[in-house]
Amino acid sequence: MTSYLCGIDIGGTFTDCVVVDQAGTVITAKAPSTPGNFTNGMMAALTAAAEKLELSPEKLAQSITHLAHGTTVGTNAVVQKKGAKVGLITTRGHNDVIHIMRGSRGLSGRDVQKVVHFAESSKPDPIVPKRLIQGVSERVDCFGKIVVELNEEEVRQSIKRLVDQGVEAIAICFLWSFLQPLHERRVQQMVESMAPDLFVTCSSELIPKWGEYERTTAVALNAYIGPETTAYLRKVEEQLSQLGYSSPVQITQCAGGTIAIERAVKAPLLTLDSGPVSGVMGAKYIGEAMGYSNIITTDMGGTSFDVGVVFKGEPAFSFHSLVNQYEYFLPKVDIQAIGSGGGSKVWIDEVTGTLRVGPESAGAVPGPVCYQRGGRVATVTDADVVLGYLSPDHFASGTMQLDKAAAEAAIGEIADRLGMDLYECAAGIVKIADFQMADLIRKVTIQKGFDPRDFVLFAFGGAGPVHAGVFARELGVQKIIIPQRDTASVWCAFGSAAADILHISDQVDIMSSPFDPARLNAVIGNLKTQALEQLIEEGVQAEHQQFRFTFDMRHKGQIHEVEVEIDGDQIEAAQLEPLRTRFVVNYEQLYGKGASLPGAQLEIVAVRCRATAQTPKPHIPAAEVLTEKIPESAVRRPREVHWPDLGPKNDTPIYDGHQLVPGNQISGPAVLELEMTTVVLHPGQHLTVDAWGNFEIEL
């Protein structure tokens, strides 16, 4: 019997489904997303895929051996601030941890002008109000030693008070619980017995890391999205099982792999932001097939601009995340939100009379002027329309008519005030936006030790390929790749399907050099045992199991930590010196040559285990025949486009991107229109459709 791999990803508009058979043949299908009851859209997408395979949905479900699903339920709850009513139990005296935060009002990632303008820099609403935070007597010290035993009577009263106030979930975080989790586990048991219907989560189980603010925030957020995510996932599981799917449902997580649904219902936090991560994983996967190991991914939409990095075939990681100004611990593929996309507003600094773009965004509503949704402030997208980059008739496959006259009026008003010509002004706006993006991408790559010249750039998102031609050139990357094969959004589903099962677990054990291999091996052994249990529980065969171990290391007395991998699952005394060398290499890669202190004492802060189980991979067949001739059906009627270097060009070639075939080559100036995006090919640039159907632009 044929068996299948399946990835299903829910986006804002569409739910995408990718099915891959043993031969690697890929089938994609999509259905409209159904907010309020996302499982309906999910089942519709699966049914659509079954139809393409000429199977019944039941037959398909029974034949799927591995189903990975990406959900945005948790992310939506956080963004819309509609999470559960959470109670928090913590160490007595430390109730205010998430209210005090860490000094800068959680401002990392925000525009610096807002940071210094105090009237605009207030703290976010707390996830848990003070009256729902209960401190109980207990204490552990920095050696993990219990200094004060848990006062269970106080715990009982606290749980009762929270239940009486109607909480829907309880989060538990004690100081130093990552070294000594006993007290947290005991409180969790007590909650489970006193209030069995509540969602309960404790920090040592979720994210046993050093730093109580970020750990408490993580566990509070986990509780905040817990009840809704859990209910949703259970429903998914139930419906799939009714169809006949029998393996564990795998859920896409933000660390770039999948976890079994049993883990996801306990740690829904791991699903936060998993959607964009799947895009990076998809890029990594296709990059591998194409022979690129260094990739900058850019996803530029109407309201957001996200950047990720794949270096030497591995996605760049972060262990510190940010949402609504809350900072929290979470191992995740690092995606930096650096701007506001095509919706960036254009404005004139009234006093100085200078032209400015962003960082304020018109958002999706009211959006750019040309969207005709009530937006009155010109945006970058309006400038794109004025220049003719975007076709008023073919935007989003013609599902949305753009009002070019309104865009011209809005940009024209700005041009008049600056004494510029309409097109000169529109081109100027686009140039400012493109150069800003180059500056910002540079910031998030160079500052992490990555030199853009060593990378290719993948451009996703509705607005990405419109602008990538310039910002990628400014950045100095080698080439631009615009992944094809249906739409970019399917890549997320593809990323899910391509992802391995992944469990990341940390144990903090702070030790100074010279290191004691026995102590390290004990920690490694402990982590391995736990991870192994998890994989066995999920039914992963021994031959598919893989374990990698890394240390978070730093100079003693300093802050920066870098991750250093060891060979195998043991460390011997003889490996300690090579370990120091690896640390220095990694440190200087990240922080710059000469940043390391020769001969300084080192610290290991944590040991990390990545347990993976490889899943069968979709195979991406390359076209055997490359065709230079551009199909007739790909050629659309030329139109007028205003190129900054050439001026108005009435006969700019326009192509239907979906009709192009591998081997086609196009020289700029030209515009390629696709279902969800538009590729702007500037004069002098050269585009090739490669053997996989992707567009490559040489710079």
Reduced 3-state DSSP string for 31-70: EECCCCCHHHHHHHHHHHHHHHCCCCHHHHHHHEEEEEEE
From the CB of 608, what's the least distance to another protein, in Å?
18
Phi/psi of residue 54, nearest 5 degrees: 55, 45
Question: Shortest approach of another protein to residue 443 CB, angstroms?
Answer: 6
Least Å distance, CB 208 to another protein, is 12
Closest to another protein by CB, 234 vs 560, is: 560
Smallest gap from Cβ 442 to another protein, in A, equals 8
Least Cβ distance, residue 102 to another protein (angstroms): 5
Decide if 43 contacts 239 (C-beta within 8 A): yes
| Residues binding another protein: number (CB under 8 A) | 84
Nearest to 76 by CA among 223, 225, 253: 225
Classify each residue of 382-403 as buried b or exposed e, where b means 16 or more C-beta atoms within 10 Å of its C-beta: bbbbbbbbbbbebbbeeeeebb
Q: Spell out, one character per residue from 5 to 34, where the chain touches another protein: x when CB under 8 A holds, - when not.
A: ------------------------------
Shortest reach from residue 345's CB to another protein, in Å: 14
Closest distance to another protein from the beta carbon of 683 (Å):
18
Q: Is 382 in the site for another protein (CB under 8 A)?
A: no
> Per-residue string for binding with another protein, 484-523, x by CB under 8 A?
--------------------------x-x-----------
Q: What is the DSSP letter of 379?
A: B
Q: Does 213 bind another protein (CB under 8 A)?
A: yes
Residue placing its CB nearer to another protein in the complex, 441 or 571: 441
Q: Which is nearer to another protein, 385 or 433 (CB)?
A: 433
Q: Which of 4, 38, 199, 210: binder of another protein (CB under 8 A)?
A: 210
CB of 573 to another protein, least distance (A): 22
**Binding residues among 338-367 for another protein as defined by CB under 8 A:** 349, 351-352, 354-357
- Minimum Å gap between C-beta 131 and another protein is 7
Which residues in 551-570 contact another protein (CB under 8 A)? 554-555, 557-560
Collapse the DSSP code of 351 into the 3-class scheme (helix H, G, I; strand E, B; otherwise coil) and give the result. coil
HSE-CB for 632 with a 13 A CA cutoff: 0
Q: Of the two residues 445 and 484, which places its CB atom closer to another protein in the complex? A: 445
CA-to-CA distance for 574 and 535, rounded, in angstroms? Answer: 31
Residue 640 near residue 648, CB atoms below 8 Å:
yes
Question: Which of 2, 24, 52, 100 lies at the binding interface for another protein (CB under 8 A)?
Answer: 100
Q: Does 103 bind another protein (CB under 8 A)?
A: yes
What CA–CA distance (Å, rounded) separates 439 from 471? 9
Residues in the chain: 699
Instruction: Classify residue 394 by its DSSP letter.
Output: T
Nearer to another protein among residue 122 and residue 667 (C-beta): 122
CB atoms within 10 A of CB 194: 15
Strand blocks (E) in 489-632: 501-512, 545-555, 562-565, 602-613
Task: Quickly tell me which residue has 């202190």 as its tokens.
Answer: 597
The one segment of 277-285, 521-529, 540-548, 589-597 that binds another protein by CB under 8 A: 589-597
How far CA 681 is from CA of 61, 439, 473, 658, 690, in Å, comes to 43, 21, 12, 16, 16
Piece of 9-17, 27-35, 594-602, 626-634 that binds another protein (CB under 8 A): 594-602
Q: How far apart are the first and last CA of the chain?
A: 47
* Strand pairing class (64-70; 250-252): parallel
**Residue 190 Cβ vs another protein, minimum distance, rounded to whole Å:** 15
| β pairing state of 295-300 and 456-460 | parallel
122 binds another protein (CB under 8 A): yes
Contact between 326 and another protein by CB under 8 A: the answer reads no
Which CB, 101 or 482, lies closer to another protein?
Answer: 101
Q: How far is CA 521 from the centre of its chain?
A: 33
Residues 623-682 touching another protein, rule: CB under 8 A, are none
In the bound complex, what is the minimum distance in angstroms from residue 436's beta carbon to another protein?
A: 5
16 is written with which tokens? 């995408």
Compute the C-alpha angle 381/383/389, nearest 5°: 80
Q: Give the shortest CB-640-to-another protein separation in angstroms.
A: 22
476 forms part of the interface with another protein (CB under 8 A): no
Nearer of residues 135 and 244 to another protein, judged by Cβ: 135
Q: Does 105 bind another protein (CB under 8 A)?
A: yes
For another protein, the closer CB: 93 or 621: 93
**118 sits near another protein (criterion: CB under 8 A):** yes
Within residues 247-306, the interface with another protein by CB under 8 A covers none
User: What is the C-alpha separation between 64 and 44, in angstroms, rounded?
Assistant: 16
Nearest residue to 68 via CA among 268, 258, 284, 272: 258
**Between residue 126 and residue 155, which ones bind another protein under the rule CB under 8 A?**
129-131, 135, 137-139, 141-143, 147-151, 154
| Cβ–Cβ under 8 Å, residues 204 and 181 | yes
CA distance 466 to 455: 20
Kindly identify the residues of this chain, within the stretch 74-93, that bind another protein according to CB under 8 A.
91-93
CA gyration radius, the chain: 26
Taking Cα atoms as reference points, which of 480, 445, 428, 264 lies closest to residue 338?
445
Site for another protein in 420-449 (CB under 8 A): 420, 427-428, 431-432, 435-436, 439, 442-443, 446-447
Q: Which of 263, 261, 329, 249 is nearest to 530 (CA)?
A: 263
CB nearer another protein, residue 96 or residue 238: 96
Q: Which lies closer to another protein via its Cβ, residue 531 or residue 553?
A: 553
Min dist CB 77 to another protein, Å, is 23
Q: Does 166 bind another protein (CB under 8 A)?
A: no
In this structure, what token pair is assigned to residue 656? 């239907």
Describe the crossing of helices 422-446 and 464-475 by its angle, rounded to 10 degrees. 60
- Of 175-194, binders to another protein (CB under 8 A) are 175-176
Residue type, 514: P
Question: Mutual orientation of helices 422-446 and 404-418 as an angle, nearest 10°?
Answer: 90
Question: Which one of residues 81, 82, 117, 234 is an interface residue with another protein (CB under 8 A)?
Answer: 117
Nearer to another protein, 151 or 293 (CB): 151
Least CB distance from residue 240 to another protein, whole Å? 42
Q: Which is nearer to another protein, 85 or 442 (CB)?
A: 442
Q: Pick the binder of another protein from 48, 337, 532, 595 (CB under 8 A).
A: 595
Beta strands in 478-627 (DSSP E): 479-482, 501-512, 545-555, 562-565, 602-613
CA–CA gap between residue 253 and residue 241 (Å, rounded): 21
Nearer to another protein, 372 or 558 (CB): 558
166 or 291, CB closer to another protein?
Answer: 166
